[in-house]
Structure 1
Amino acid sequence: MTPGQEDALQRLWPKWGLDIDGKRVLDLPALFGADIPVVLEIGFGMGEATARMAAADPGTGILAVDVHTPGQGNLLNLADQAGLTNVRVANGDAIILLREMLAPHSLDGLRVYFPDPWPKKRHHKRRLIQPEFLTLAASCMRPGALLHCATDWEPYAEVMLDVLTAHPDFENTQPVNGAGSGYAPRPDFRPRTRFEGQGLDKGHVVNDLLFRRVPLDANASTNSDKRTDT
């Protein structure tokens, strides 16, 4: 870590940071100090894009999860320097956060930008975007909440599109027939990152996927609210 990142962690973690321990359900209005819509971002890298999105939309809270300590310090530092009050940084496993620490239908959005593609076939089971993950995520998302994924690994983008299209809790915001590919243009609210720029310079193709949490009927609500005690 740089001195600035370490200093930000020491100063700001008690105020804006939290450890994912699975021991409590988060009170999001209390966490953000206001009853505002909250978006979960899984894997924020060094946090530059997260800070820019938070600055552009101060009326939305961003709960940003990562295990990379320098990135946590960097995001806290960026938020502090910009005077942002709508960013909270969580350290730990996002699956535990979703399963144990978020109330049903409490999220207004979920962002997964450039997750590890695990390109080798024997590692595909480690990929985040799987049916089981989507079911868990859907249980924490309000109807109409947006799930936004982006990747520069085309084979993974194809798998994401197939898995999301097949999942009953999500619907694509983009046409998938005729001239529609099912992929979305990069929305204005997602800034281009350094990592993305490096991929584009190498000839990679970046695909965005924008799926919406479908409205709940009685059966879907009952099923998605089920939790398993551990």
Structure 2
Amino acid sequence: MTSRQIDALDRLWPTYGLTVSDVADGPLDPSALFGREAPVVLEIGSGMGDATAAMAADDPDRDYLAVEVHTPGIANLLDLVGRDGLTNVRVAEGDALDLVHALPVDSLDAVHVFFPDPWPKTRHHKRRIIQAGHVALLRSRLAPGGVLHCATDWAEYAESMRHTLDGDPELVSPHPGWAPRPAHRPVTKFERRAHREGREVFDLVYHRAVPARTASGDAGA
């Protein structure tokens, strides 16, 4: 880590950081974590934090909870938080699924899974974040109408993601094929490298279905 990142970790972790193992028993109250009531976006695998910081800066009315295992990435995001004066970012260190388990049902406005490890070897596919059981967990934490947005530059993983997401009974996609690249998703170093190497980037955007209305006009169970 650079000296600036080390300094940011030392200064800002007590205010903006949390360790997943400390909250894994849950429930984790997002409003208490951020000190306000606001829609929450979960960023799974925030990497060096550039995309998370850029989105949070452009979207001050929502709170961004980033989870990452790579300490230099956590430190870099904290440095960006301090540099840009961002108050709507919190950074969690640890396993993303443990963090999701700790969050209340229906508590998230969006979940972003941008360029996750593709685990390309067949014997490692079980380690992928986008698989049926994990998707069901993520979807359960989305509020009705909330968005699950994935992006990858691995064509085989993209097809696997789409098959899995299409198979979830409560996720719907407004796009008949791949989603167009949303303008709010910043271009990451992974995306730039993919373009340099001639690989296509695939976006998948799904919404948690809103319960149908009953005949009396009340929301269904």
- Alignment deviations for residues 171-206 of structure 1 (CA, whole Å, 9 cap, x no partner): 01202xxxxxx2111101101011210111000100
Tell me the SS of whatever aligns to 2:15.
helix
User: 2 CA distance for matches of 1:216 and 1:42?
Assistant: 26
Instruction: Report the secondary structure of 1:8's partner residue.
Output: helix
- Paired position in structure 2 for 1:8: 8
Query: Which of 168, 188, 192 is matched with 2:183 structurally?
Result: 188
Q: 4+ residue stretches of structure 1 with deviation over 3 A?
A: none
Counterpart AA for 1:160? M
The residue aligned with 2:216 is none
Query: Given the alignment, which residue of 177, 192, 196 partners 1:201?
Result: 196
The TM-score, its normalising length taken from structure 2, stands at 0.93
Q: CA deviation at 1:217?
A: 6.5
Gaps of 5+ in 1: 176-181, 223-230
TM-score after normalising by structure 1: 0.90
Of residues 86, 89, 96, the one that matches 1:87 is 89
Count of aligned positions = 213
Provide the secondary structure at the position in 2 that maps to 1:59: coil
Which residue matches 1:118? 119
Secondary structure at 2:166's aligned position in 1? helix
**Structure 2 equivalent of residue 28 of structure 1:** 30
Identity of aligned residues (%): 53
Supply the distance in 1 between the matched residues of 2:26 and 2:113 (Cα, whole angstroms): 24
Q: Partner amino acid for 2:12?
A: L
Mapped partners of 1:162, 1:136: distance in 2: 17
Q: Which residue of 2 aligns with 1:17?
A: 17
**Residue 46 of structure 1: SS of its match in structure 2?**
coil
Q: C-alpha offsets along residues 62-85 of structure 1, whole Å, 9 cap, x if unaligned?
A: 000000000000001001101111
**Most deviating of 18-27 and 29-38:** 18-27
**Post-superposition CA distance 1:98-145 (Å, at most 9, x none):** 11x101100010000000111111111111100000111111110000
Q: Which residue of 2 aligns with 1:164?
A: 165
Distance 1:51 1:95 in 2: 22
SS in 1 for 2:193: helix
Structure 2 counterpart SS, 1:76 = helix
SS at match of 1:115: coil
Distance 1:64 1:200 in 2: 25
Which whole-Å CA distance do the structure 1 matches of 2:163 and 2:173 have between them?
A: 11
| SS of 1:23 mapped into structure 2 | coil
User: Does 15-24 or 63-72 show the bigger shift?
Assistant: 15-24
Equivalent of 2:67, from 65, 68, 72? 65
2:125 and 2:189 map into 1 onto residues whose CA distance is: 25
Secondary structure of 1:116's counterpart equals coil
The aligned residue for residue 178 of structure 1 is none
Distance in 1 between residues matched to 2:139 and 2:129, nearest whole Å: 14
Amino acid at match of 1:158: E
Matched residue type, 1:23: D
Structure 2 gap ranges (5+): 214-219
Q: CA RMSD in A?
A: 1.4
1:52 to 48, 51, 54: 54
Which residue pairs with 1:228 in the alignment? Answer: none
Q: Distance in 1 between matches of 2:26 and 2:171?
A: 27
Give, in whole Å, the separation in 1 of the partners of 2:144 and 2:38: 16
CA distance in 2, matches of 1:216, 1:107: 16
